[in-house]
Structure 1
Amino acid sequence: MAIAELRSSITTKSTRDTGIDFVRALCVLGVVLLHSMMVGVTVTESGPLFANASDGSWWITPLSWVLQVMPLFFVIGGFAGYTSLRRAQQRGGTAKEFVAARIHRLVLPAVVTIGVVGIVLTVLLANGVPADLVAIAGYRYGQPLWFLGVFLLCQVLLPLFAAAHRRAPWITITLLVAAAVAVDAVRNATGIEGVGFVNLAFVWLALQQLGFFFADGRIDALSRRTRTVIGVAAVAALAGTFLTGVYSPDLIANINPPTASLLLVGVAHTMLLSLLRGRLAVWSARPLPTRFRNFVTPRAMTIYLWHMPVLLAMAGVSAVFALTTGIALPEPSSIAWWTTRPLWLATVVVLTALIASVLAGIEARRIPEPTRSNGRLFAASAIGTVAIVGLLVVGTTPVTAMIAVALLIASLRLARPRHAASAAWPSRNPGIAATSTRAMQNA
């Protein structure tokens, strides 16, 4: 059977594209591995030192070309969201249900994680751990939360931009790309780094919009030669920006704040994914990839939220081990450090997987009933975003964690009707409505 036929037979048996799900699971694993490599722990005469092991290192640039998967993750997020919304609307669902389900799916596991981290930080302070070390731990924990805030924003706005895509696909994505490039131009011209953070919206929304082109079949409809040329051209343009000094060749440096170079990364990844889509559909149906995909897909946000606490706990245990035994920890980027990386990475993956297994039920919980109020949905998304931004700007402490949890709980409550127990579904088949909401929640 031809690859195209095999892919068709696989995707028709399920509402999900197994190949795309498999790649998304690989992206989650890639993020965990990249962050794991960046953790550096040493013990000096003044005490433990926690630092970014990649700072000033030679290896972060080539590694970032392999493991910088965030652009692809947002493209796939756009693909999955657009597909899910379209399918649910065909069954009688609404954009409001989509947004409410997305808020619930993203915010609920965050409430648990941030709450636990806040309690742990409190316990550490109460047991005499130096406040500066606790502050560093809180800061490191909060850094990856930018993804939650931005992805929440993108998913909340997805129905709006999906409608714009259906009306004017090329104009919409062109405006987003132009805005991202303009922000970079202003940032470079003024030297004001803070300007670049405006691209937390434009860059990631543009990549999500690219996912819409993937979802509606426009990219797959291009000839293989055309897709190959576009992908190669994107890589060549990216290399050109590095050689001319427009952007750093370190793709990690281009994420904080995000730059338009990530758009080129996303285009290259999308073309490659499209070219390999048929083979991925076949290969992802095999037993081992299927088990991996089935484990990660329903636990993706839990894995993302918990891998950093796991890393921080491992760093703390390593420091305590060195202090109590007198055995020196290897200097980051040294030969000894590299020899310990396989065990370090395997431990992170195993521990994170164990936690994700235990807490899988939290992320899997479906919203009992989504609100039909635009005002409540807007307030829910705004409050959820403010909670995450607060942790990023102020830092994660026992107090800020408590405030963030309170705000996130308020966001969850707003995503449901004011009187959830007695509220009725819109005037349509309630069975269809419930089915469409579950479909949007699980995408």
Structure 2
Amino acid sequence: MTDRTPRPGAVRRAAARIDAATPAGRDRAVDALRALAICGVVLGHWLVTALVADGTALRAASPLQYSSGLAPVSWAFQTLAVFFLVGGHTATRSHAAATARGTSYGRWLAARLARLFRPVAALLALWAVVTALLLLTGADLTTVRTLVKLALSPLWFLLVFAALTAATPLVAKLHPLWPLAVVLHVDLLRFGLGAPDRLGWLNLAAGWLVPYTLGAAWTRGELERRRAGWLLLLGGTAATAALVAWAGYPAAMVGVPGAPVSNLNPPTLAAVTFGLAQCGAALLLRRGLRAALRRPVAWAAVALVNLSAMTVFLWHQTALMTATAATLPAGRLPGLHTRPDGLDWIAARIAWLPVFALVLAGCWAAFRPWERPARRSRVVHVHRPGRTGTPRPKVEA
């Protein structure tokens, strides 16, 4: 029998090829921050999302409902602000380059949005079939509603991100203090003057526009000094601590089922200031990440995550639900189907994470072509400075 396990030498050679094919001017820290943000969201959801088997139904729950001491888990894994920071940086840089080449706004936007929404079609198609089968087989409506809501929950993020991407030419020079001021005033009206809660949905755009415009400022070179990173980190941390301690904002930076106020749905001032702190930390990490990613194996891992970022993001909740549903016939298993009301549940859930990752790998194998459709590669001969001889071919997908 042939051993198909990749050998260390083969892994290093593959990593070296990926490293050699990477343009010399690429800022690898940008890709690393995007990968960290995606992985943070995935792990965060897997740690705080429970599907409790309640009789004939599955209901969503969270360990944050039962222990406020677990709020720091959300601080570590709610990394959406970093994704919007990187998104604002890459979109404004891409738009500037497209404009310089003479590419129209419409063509530029169509290319950007295709990368976001092409994988969505597969998710919607599969869940349309699953939902129909569940309803036809008489599944409990609470279960169907819970599963569909979790499966499609990543789509709100894509809609907001797409809207900000479309507005890139308008917001490219917008100072982050302007959307921050909108968030501040909306929260003052909601929580201080009794305005309707629906007013808070203005923050869905304004709140995420803050890190997005910080990304644009990064493109303009305004955040290169480490002082900017420290100011954001320390200022954002102090503001968030003050809002939680004295203004009554929840400590958890994600939504908690049954809680009267969510910091994330829609974003509150505390979520935005917390995001500022995260953006500051991300900016401070750039130098170290660039040094670490000179190692081909480390860079190959980051590159592979980025190549499938949307597939991983869209299907991670489906992977969790698939593992949960597939094991339900074996009984109510700790960390999967039981109420998340103790540390024993947390320990059991951590033990299930490799299973979720394995199911997600299966989803990746099945649906990655929707994100990166096969197309003919073209070979570009690249001259390396300081080298002579035959130009080295570089394959661009």
TM-score class, shorter-chain normalisation, is 0.7 to 0.9
Residues 283 and 118 from structure 1, CA distance in 2 versus in 1: closer, same or farther, beyond 3 angstroms?
same
User: What do the CA deviations read for 1:22-43 (whole angstroms, capped 9, x no partner)?
Assistant: 1111111111111111222333
| Contact 1:77/1:211, CA 8 A, preserved across alignment | yes
The alpha carbon displacement at 1:114 in A equals 0.9
User: What do the CA deviations read for 1:214-272 (whole angstroms, capped 9, x no partner)?
Assistant: 1221111x3x3454244212211111111112422211131111112233223222222
- The 2-side partners of 1:256 and 1:330 are apart by 26
The answer to whether structure 1 residue 274 and structure 2 residue 283 are counterparts is: yes
The alpha carbon displacement at 1:61 in A equals 1.0
Counterpart of 1:29?
39
Counterpart of 2:51?
41
Aligned to 2:249, what secondary structure does the other structure show? coil
The alpha carbon displacement at 1:193 in A equals 1.9
Counterpart of 1:383?
none
Counterpart of 1:295?
304
The alpha carbon displacement at 1:198 in A equals 1.3
- The 2-side partners of 1:328 and 1:77 are apart by 34
Aligned to 1:51, what secondary structure does the other structure show? strand
Letter in 2 for 1:181: L
| Contact 1:110/1:305, CA 8 A, preserved across alignment | yes
- The 1-side partners of 2:70 and 2:211 are apart by 24
Q: Which of 341, 349, 353 is the aligned partner of 2:357? A: 349
Counterpart of 2:271?
262
Greater relative CO, 1 or 2 (CA 8 Å, sep 6+): 1
Letter in 2 for 1:186: L
- The 2-side partners of 1:244 and 1:316 are apart by 42
Counterpart of 1:421?
none
Aligned to 2:146, what secondary structure does the other structure show? helix
The answer to whether structure 1 residue 99 and structure 2 residue 109 are counterparts is: yes
Q: Structure 2 length as normaliser, TM-score?
A: 0.80
Q: Which runs of 5+ in 2 are unaligned?
A: 1-18, 255-261, 376-395
Q: Which of 204, 213, 219 is the aligned partner of 2:208? A: 204
User: What do the CA deviations read for 1:194-213 (whole angstroms, capped 9, x no partner)?
Assistant: 21111111111222111111
- The 2-side partners of 1:115 and 1:357 are apart by 17
Q: Which of 177, 184, 197 is the aligned partner of 1:174? A: 177
- The 1-side partners of 2:222 and 2:335 are apart by 58
**What is the Cα-based RMSD across aligned positions, in Å?**
2.9
| Contact 1:72/1:269, CA 8 A, preserved across alignment | yes
Letter in 2 for 1:58: S
Residues 225 and 41 from structure 1, CA distance in 2 versus in 1: closer, same or farther, beyond 3 angstroms?
closer
Letter in 2 for 1:360: R
Counterpart of 2:66?
56
**Greater helix fraction, Structure 1 or Structure 2:** 1
Counterpart of 2:217?
213
- The 2-side partners of 1:76 and 1:366 are apart by 26
| Contact 2:50/2:336, CA 8 A, preserved across alignment | no
The answer to whether structure 1 residue 193 and structure 2 residue 201 are counterparts is: no
The alpha carbon displacement at 1:107 in A equals 1.6
| Contact 1:237/1:264, CA 8 A, preserved across alignment | yes
The alpha carbon displacement at 1:48 in A equals 4.0
Counterpart of 1:75?
85
User: What do the CA deviations read for 1:47-74 (whole angstroms, capped 9, x no partner)?
Assistant: 3442222323334411111111011111
The answer to whether structure 1 residue 332 and structure 2 residue 340 are counterparts is: yes
- The 1-side partners of 2:315 and 2:269 are apart by 29
| Contact 1:48/1:319, CA 8 A, preserved across alignment | no
Letter in 2 for 1:317: A
Counterpart of 1:146?
156
Counterpart of 1:248?
250
Letter in 2 for 1:175: W
- The 2-side partners of 1:317 and 1:156 are apart by 40
Aligned to 1:129, what secondary structure does the other structure show? coil
- The 2-side partners of 1:244 and 1:353 are apart by 44
Q: Structure 1 length as normaliser, TM-score?
A: 0.72
Q: Which moved more, 1:279-288 or 1:67-76?
A: 279-288
- The 2-side partners of 1:143 and 1:118 are apart by 15
Counterpart of 2:371?
363
The answer to whether structure 1 residue 17 and structure 2 residue 20 are counterparts is: no
| Contact 1:105/1:366, CA 8 A, preserved across alignment | no
Letter in 2 for 1:147: F
Letter in 2 for 1:142: L
Counterpart of 2:314?
305
